[in-house]
Structure 1
Amino acid sequence: MTRTFRTAAVIGAGTIGLSWTALFAAHGLTVRVSDPRPDLAQAVNEALAQYTPHLAARGLDVTGLADRVHLTDDVTEAVRDADVVQENGPERLEFKQDLFATLVREAPGHALLLSSSSAIPSTAFTRELADADAARVLIGHPFNPPHLVPLVEVVPGERTGEDAVRDAVDFYASVGRTPVVERKEIPGFVGNRLQNALSREAVYLVEQGVVTPEDLDKVMTNSLGIRWSTVGPFLGSHLGGGPGGYRHLVEHIGASMKQMWAGLGNPSQNEEEQERLIKAVESAYGSSTYSELTETRDRKQLAVLSALDSADKEEN
């Protein structure tokens, strides 16, 4: 790394912020968490208790994890000595504008200022900042929960400095994430746009009565989910073309692929259809609590990650 990160400020202690907190602390950072929620201490304690086994399963030393986490409802106090700030506030432009105006004023001049924003690019909420301040602000968008899912989309704004981009990549790599730099701002970034494209077709297929929500999930988890956990869409297609690769695939089935693109659905999702879909999803999964479903999800995600680790070790 080109610089050392010792102290991280986590601004916003919702689901994402709590997950970041556990991850950063597990990698030895001092973490200062700020959120006005009255149950902040309880929320952090419960999150650390829930996530500690996950982190230990990933081979991290979780001894004294809670001792490295400090709480405050004051943003200024949280960022005072920070080397890096991870913002996880509401997805509202005005909120982020006001918050980052505070962050650039109160955080040390060397602090890297990152936002977990899932749709709003940093250029939109740094317009009123001076060039030198905007230069250290960029998006570090995780996938939920970030202490388990490795991807972080690193998205610089129009005035973000190259040093900040490099430092963000180094920082996320240092806490075991897989940072991917996206060189053009686009609403939703890459991951959420791909997810939404698939979700749109999933809603359409259920809306048209082709498949139930539960069976559509079975299709994904027993086919594309397995494939895409090991290779992405392009490598998967390259392999689908056999020895001739992606070129062979495009030359032989490219026309039918384009026809299928043209026929992809556009769900109406009027009020009646939306209510029907909600009830169908609730019927499929409503018998389990949120905690039960997330525990199952995280247990399975840990199993996938462990299996991929083993495969990588065998390959090397």
Structure 2
Amino acid sequence: MDHARTACLGAGVIGASWAALFLASGRSVAVYDPSPEAEAQTRAYVETAWPTLTRLGLTVHGTPDALSFHTSAAAAVEGATFVQENVPERLAIKHAVFAEIEPALAPGAIVASSASGLTLGQMQDGWADPAPLVLGHPFNPPHLVPLVEVMGNARTGPGVADATAAFYESIGKVTIRVTKEVPGHVANRLQAAVWREAIHLAKEGVASVGDIDKAMWAGPGLRWAAMGPTACFSLGAGAGGLQAFCNHFRDTFNGWWDDMGRPYLDDDTITMLVDGADDAADGISHDEMLARRDAMITVMQEALRPHRKGR
């Protein structure tokens, strides 16, 4: 199934970004969002994203004009064979939307949820038959960052998770399969672990918030954009590979792990982080920082693409 007709339920930052990517791939996109500003904001987002998507070679078959807006979720999913759900992460809202769209879905339609904090099992309880529902959790912004975490389970229809991954990959995404339900899935837990230690280092006065961020993007973050930490460490001890690395650094890492902190986001910690981030920004506005982030991600994606072929 080529999923020529898609729908996006919820048109915040995530939903608008998905809509831009689906349009770029040559699909039509039907959008539902109850906000009266949703249409104008989504069209503006697509217009802003389109030059970047073109630069990345993703708009060859697409047009930003294949976009429609609807006054109900049921109307938006009518005739769509792939639905990306991005409504607020409150179970009551998710369940209400699922109950509305379930009778209106086309036969064989897939509904992928962008949920980051809710589990698939929690969301499935909002369905009479949850066979069409899968987890399709992106990283923000979805039209630029390739990762999507895909998960189905015993209540998901046969082949639905595989078809979801195939669709995402056909529009340029990189998918991983989540095979066990845990809060936060995979990538969010990885970045939460790193941020926890970053906060601990700042609270202990080891370095400033800005310098800790700099240590990441100028050091391991650069390597991790090429390959993950286990693969990187497998190259860190010469021809002996990961076994030699672990033999050499076993006690070192065990000592570091024992010494790592467990801070919490209480009011004092949040104030420290906000003040530290403001100092590091040095007057750069939010919009300028956002544009700078997206520009750097775009350049990295362009540079890395030849090396990712077939990966």
> For the superposition of Structure 1 and Structure 2, which TM-score range results when normalised by the shorter chain?
over 0.9
How far off its partner does 1:182 sit? Answer: 1.0
TM-score, normalising length: structure 1: 0.94
Of stretches 185-194 and 37-46 in structure 1, the one that deviates more from structure 2 is 37-46
Q: Distance in 2 between matches of 1:104 and 1:123?
A: 17
- Percent of residue pairs bearing the same amino acid type: 35
Matched AA of 1:83: T
- Structure 2 unaligned spans of 5+: none
* 1:276 counterpart SS class: helix
Which residue, 267, 270, 283 being the options, matches 1:271? 267
Q: Distance in 1 between matches of 2:124 and 2:282?
A: 41
State the partner residue of 2:135: 139
Which digits, 9 at most, give the CA deviation of each residue in 1:70-89, with x for residues without a partner? 11231111001110110001
State the partner residue of 1:260: 256
Which digits, 9 at most, give the CA deviation of each residue in 1:9-59, with x for residues without a partner? 000000000000000000000100110111122101210121011100111
State the partner residue of 1:125: 123
Structure 1 position 292 matched with structure 2 position 267: no
How far off its partner does 1:175 sit? Answer: 1.1
Alignment of 1:26-45 (within 5 A): 26-45=24-43
CA contact (8 A) 1:10 1:34 kept: yes
* 1:184 counterpart SS class: coil
Structure 1 position 76 matched with structure 2 position 65: no
CA contact (8 A) 2:4 2:28 kept: yes
Change (3 A) 1:268 1:139: closer
State the partner residue of 1:8: 6
Structure 1 position 239 matched with structure 2 position 204: no
Alignment of 1:178-197 (within 5 A): 178-197=174-193
* 2:207 counterpart SS class: coil
Matched AA of 1:159: R
Q: Distance in 2 between matches of 1:64 and 1:6?
A: 11
CA contact (8 A) 1:55 1:62 kept: no
RMSD (Å), alpha carbons: 1.8
- Structure 1 unaligned spans of 5+: none
State the partner residue of 2:98: 100
Structure 1 position 172 matched with structure 2 position 171: no
Q: Distance in 1 between matches of 2:52 and 2:42?
A: 15
* 1:240 counterpart SS class: coil
Change (3 A) 1:63 1:160: closer
Of stretches 103-112 and 86-95 in structure 1, the one that deviates more from structure 2 is 103-112
Which residue, 198, 204, 210 being the options, matches 2:200? 204
How far off its partner does 1:63 sit? Answer: 7.7
Give the total of aligned pairs: 311
State the partner residue of 2:19: 21
Give runs of ≥4 in structure 1 deviating > 3 Å.
310-313
Change (3 A) 1:134 1:268: closer
How far off its partner does 1:201 sit? Answer: 0.6
CA contact (8 A) 1:137 1:157 kept: no
TM-score, normalising length: structure 2: 0.95
Of stretches 183-192 and 288-297 in structure 1, the one that deviates more from structure 2 is 288-297
